[in-house]
Every structure is written in structure tokens, then in C-alpha cells.
Chain A
Amino acid sequence: MKAVGARLPRYDGVAHVTGKSVFVDDVRIPGTLCVKALRSPLHHAGIVSLDTSKAEKMPGVHAVVTHKDVPLNVYGHLSALGIPADEPLLAEDDVRWLGQPIAAVAAEDEDTALAAVEAIKLDLEERPAVFDMRIAGDPDAPQIHHWGNWYPHFEAEMDVRQIRKGDIDAAFDAADVIVSGVYRPAAIEQAPLETQTGLAVPEADGRITVYSCTQALYFSMGVVAAHLQVPLNRLKFVGGTVGGGFGGKVDTAAEAICALLALKGGRPCKWRWTREEEFLCSSTRAAWHIEIADAVTKDGWILGRKTLTLHDAGAYARFSPYGVTKHSFHHTGAYSIPNLHFDGYVVFTNRSPTSAMRGYGVTSVSFATEVHMSRIAKELGIDPFEIRLKNANRIADTSPNGIAYTDPSTVPTIQAIAEAIGHELPAEYRAMTPDPREGDLLPEHLAAQVGEVDH
């Protein structure tokens, strides 16, 4: 145990402070071309025609690619798990968010690449767009997605992520008070200092070396291999030096298009997104709409919870079904609620596709739960620390999806917060531990949910 608790120097610290760290944009390969993309200027439109012939003939332009150049254009981030794919690498029939890539060019320099993008003739037929997930499900809402306006491929082809635990009707019948709230965390751009950047180098032996700023190297490798329809041993991925990610670099962004252009043009191709592209076109954390109703007793026990969650996937599914699943597993926060009725929908809108960011799917419902706990305390006239400690997860309590907690830290965390801010707790709450429930802390309604823990 030499490392635990010790202040060790960062392994990459000296390189960082001397400018020796090599980020993707710092890699120097002779003959590297500059990549730029034609992106949708509209939020939602049909593609009537796309003509790249003028751009292809421009001096200094080495390759132009559209959907026709992609061996497998539609491939999803969850495809490897057998989940159907919905998103094209390059748009084919329609565009569903402002900034969706339609074509890409590789040219001698940035000015030539920008001029070539300008020379691509694109004819769009604008369609009505939806930006508010609360109306995307209305019968008269414009259809955004070919699957319908919400994701239909949860297990058993259900169109909703559900959790049913205990007896929700009995909980609401037994309640003294029903406390309701609506919580709407907004979308956030991860905003790493390093924008999305990729560099693909065609090697003499037919392989492609890809320099990537991804947070998920082997994952990106699989995605690129699938789009290109090449075996994994044709690709060499170089990564690990990431200029900030925060979840925004889990989805594969620049690599596949760089690799496609490198193969077609026969030259190394680098694509560094502008700051504007990073904000407008890269994935963001999703906006959420969370409605909670809790069945509560006068003395502060939470008997049951009904939840409706809408998750704004943006234009395509990406990881959203996974995010909502995590959200459902954590939807009681740090507290044990034995009777649950949860419905979560992945809703499509014409916003940028959304993805991971710092506690994917969980932070939204942690926020909702914490505000809701304080709301219940206020409504009942109970101390907000005491109601949290009373309902806090303890060893052998079970999560919404039925996993028994082995080492929950809720009780000591809340006690530490109370101490840090000088909030006086009664002796019985100061003495609380995470140990399994017993006595007054094991009321009848919590008995059935207690699980087995291996010691």
C-alpha cells in the first residue's frame, strides 16, 4: 500500500508543464491534408440533391466523401450489443439537426478545404422541427425519426424503460401525504479545451493509423472498422492524451470520416473541429424532464415513488437508451424506497444528439431526488437532514433494480455534511451507521425489500 494515500507525481505531469505532451493536433506527419465538413444549415430537412462534382475538380482537393463512399453508413454506438442502429455517418435522405455532417473534403490547406465545402451544391427541403421533448410525443407533432418520436427498442421491443417494484398502489393508499415535483435539468455542452480532433494516416502496408482524442479507444476502433467494413487488424489506434473529455469524447466524432478521406485521397487527413463546431455540432449532455410523486407518511417515511422521465436524445439514439437505463437504476438516489413505478422514455427532437457527461443519466435524477427530499421535509415540517438519514440506503437495502447494497456511504456522508456546516443533529441521528436496518429503522414497509449480502 505504497500508493494509497500518498501524494504521487502525475506520470504525465512533466510532459504537460514542458509542452512535450502530444495531443492529436500536435502530431506532425508530412503531407497531412486539412479536413472540413459540409454540415446541415437547417434543423430538419429532406435532402433533394447533393452535387460534389465542382468541389472534386478544384485544385488542391484530394478527396470528397458523401454517404455513397461509406461501406456501412448506418452504424450505432450500441450496435455491438445487438441494438439496432439509426444514425448515418454522413446524411443520406434527410438531416435532423443543425450541424449534421453531409459531406467532407480533404484539401492541401484550410482555405482550399473551406472553398471546396462552399462549392458543394446542396438542395434542401425544410421540414418543421421540434425542440421541446414535451411536445415531441403529441399526435400532431412533426415526425422527426423513422422509428417514431421516441425510442422503441428496449428489451422485448418495449418503447419505455420500466421499473416495477413492490406494491405501488398499496403505498399510495397508505400515504398521509403525496408530494409531487417536476425537475428539468438543461442540456450542457461538455466544452473540453481541446475540440474534437482526428488524424488518419494511410500506411504503406494498407493499414490506417488513427490518432484519436477519444475517451474510449477500443470502442472508437470498432466503430471505425464497422463503417469502413475492414477487420480490426487494418487499424492502429493511437490515443490516451485527451485534452479534456467529460463524456463528450465517448462518441466517435472525427475518426471515421478522417479514415474514409485518407483511404480515398491516399494522404494523411486531419480534422480539428472549430470551437463553433464543438458547441453547435458535438454531442451534449441531454436535457431531462422528470416528474416525481412520492407517497409519504407524516413522520417522514417514503413508502413509494412514481416517476415519469423524458430524456432528450436529440436527433439520434446514440447511448441514450443506456443513459435512461442507468437513470432508472438510480432513480431513488441515495435513499431506499420500497415501492416503485418508473417509466422512462428516450425522446427524439431536432437538437444535437446527446450523450455522456459526468455520471451519465444519474446526475439528473440525483438532482431531482435531492431537491425533492428537501421539498418533502419542508412540506412535513421535518429537518431535511433527519429525513435523509432516516431513508438513507443501508447495507442490504436494495436498489430500484433489486441489487443489495454492500457498502452504501449515504449515512456518513450526510453526517459529515451536517458537521461541516454546523447543523446540530439529535443523538440518535449522530449515532446512525450504514449497518443493516433494525428496530425503529426497520418499519414494516421496508422489511420486504431487504436483500441478501455476502459477508
Chain B
Amino acid sequence: MVSSKVGRRIFWILLPFIAIFVLANLAFGPVYIPVIDVFKSLVGLSVPSTDKIIVLQLRLPRILLGLGVGAALSMTGNSFQAMLKNPLADPYILGVSSGAAFGAILANVIAQLYFPYFVFYMWLFAFIFGLLATAITYFVSRRGGKLPTTELILSGVIVNLMFGAGVTFLIVYGWRDVQVTSFWLLGSLSGAGWNDVILVGITTIAVGIFFTLISKYLNAMVAGEEEASYLGVNIEFLKLLIFIVGTLVTAVAVSTSGIIGFVGLIMPHMSRRLFGANHRISMPASAILGGTFLVACDTVARTAFTPAEMPLGTITALIGAPIFIYILRRRIQNV
């Protein structure tokens, strides 16, 4: 790992490359749009109307949603890892995402079959069931005030299986259409609209500010809760806040783009590798890396197998699973 001073430098060097990367993503897809036309569409100059629609109505919301969801999941993973003193903790591994997906679908099914106004409670249901999933994983894996890695992963697997089964049941019961499960269980940014972008954008910015403000406390927690309490950190209150905010973020992300695994696990890890472990730098860095990574995965998902589209979670899992194994192996060797 590098120090935060070096990390800060790398961070500023990387920023323009990320802007170029986003621009390139607006250009490439089933239909190629020259970069100059992309730029013209963005600044409101005249371009063919189909190009403008593709850029502004299809690709831009999708990319912005990817940036927002990736950043939010990555920051949440980073804070969960510091809080639980476990580098394998993230909303997906802990089962929060599955719980949130179950809640979102439950609200949808109730709305479709019984009370149409329940569709407005989708975020709330996702949030409540996300909290429930987090609580189950947390209490099942807790041993004498600690969260051992093996117990944490096993509890997460059980919670994921439980809510995953619940998701499939609800979809078959509600819509009699198994195809929809792919969106929820493997995630997708297709169908991203400006409403989703606004919701995720506001949430990501708000939690970004929150995570920036708690970074110094996360640093204090790096050697455990007791050490942090010696520095005046109100541990129980901070943990509660992180769990609630993290679950809220996950609920919003899942409601707009389904369950996307591994982003919250591997991007904080990458960010610490590149920019050091100081949360004051690793938090914004994991937001940028998480957002960029998700957009890159989405580009592969939508372009590699045209005209078919690969579910986004498949791509993140293909990249994320080996990195997960690597971290797990290193952790077991260090025990």
C-alpha cells in the first residue's frame, strides 16, 4: 500500500483519465457515435436527432446511474470493512443487497396484485428488508463481540440464499415470469431513466458527504472499537449510523439497478492498494473507482455480445470473484 500523500497525487492524475473514459463510453455501443458528436450533444450543439437521443436519453443516464451506484456501493463497502474490521465485508456479501431486492419486489408485487399505491413504498420496503438482512448476518456471525471472517461469510451466504429464494418465489408468484429474476438477481443498468439518475445522484452525493465526515472516525476504528473509544469515538452510535446509511444506499441502488455484487468489496480494496488506507483519501478514491469500474463493466455487458446483453452482475462477479478468493486466501494465511 502507498501513503496518502502519494495516493493524493495519483488521485489527481487519474481524474482527467476518468473524464475521458466516460466520454468514450458515450461514443461506443451497438451504434458508434463520433466523440465530437457526443461532445456536441452534451453542450447542446446541433447533431443528428437520433445521435442526440442515444447520447442524452439512453447512454448518459445509464452511465451516470452506473457512476452513482458504483460510487455508493463502493463507499458503503469501504465503511462496512472499517467498521466490522473485516476487508471482506460489503453490502453484497453481508446479504444487504438480497434483503433490499426482496423488499423492493415485495412492494412491487403487492402493488401489482392488491394495492397499486404500494409501488411508492418500494424504497422503504427495500430499506426495511435490507436492515433485516444486515441484522440477521450481524447477529448470526457475532462471536464474543467479534465478527470472525468465516462466520461472517457463511451468515452472508445463508442470508443471500434465503432472500434470493424469496425473490424468485415472489417473482414467479407475482408475475409468473422467471425472466425478470435476471434483472433483480444479476443487476442491470438497462432502462435507466433520468428519475433514477436524480434519485441515485442525490443519495450518492448525500452519503458521500456523510462518509467524508466520518472518515476520521473510520481511521480511528482501524485498530478496533476499543481503540477508537479511547479516542472519544461514540462507537455504538457510529456503527448504527453506518448500518442505516449503508443499508439506505444499498436499498436505493438495488431498487434502480438490481443486485450488483462485488463492487463494494473489490473497489475499496483497490483504492487502498493504490491510494493508501487513510479513509480521508480512500473514501473519495473508492467512490471514483467504484463508479468507473461499474461503467466499464456495463460497457462490456452491453457491447461484448450484441445484440444480446449480458447481466451486469455476471461481469462484476467474473472480475470480483477471483479477487475475493485472493483476499480470503491472504486473510486465512495471516490468521
Are the chains A and B members of one assembly? no
Binding site for B on A (CB under 8 A): none
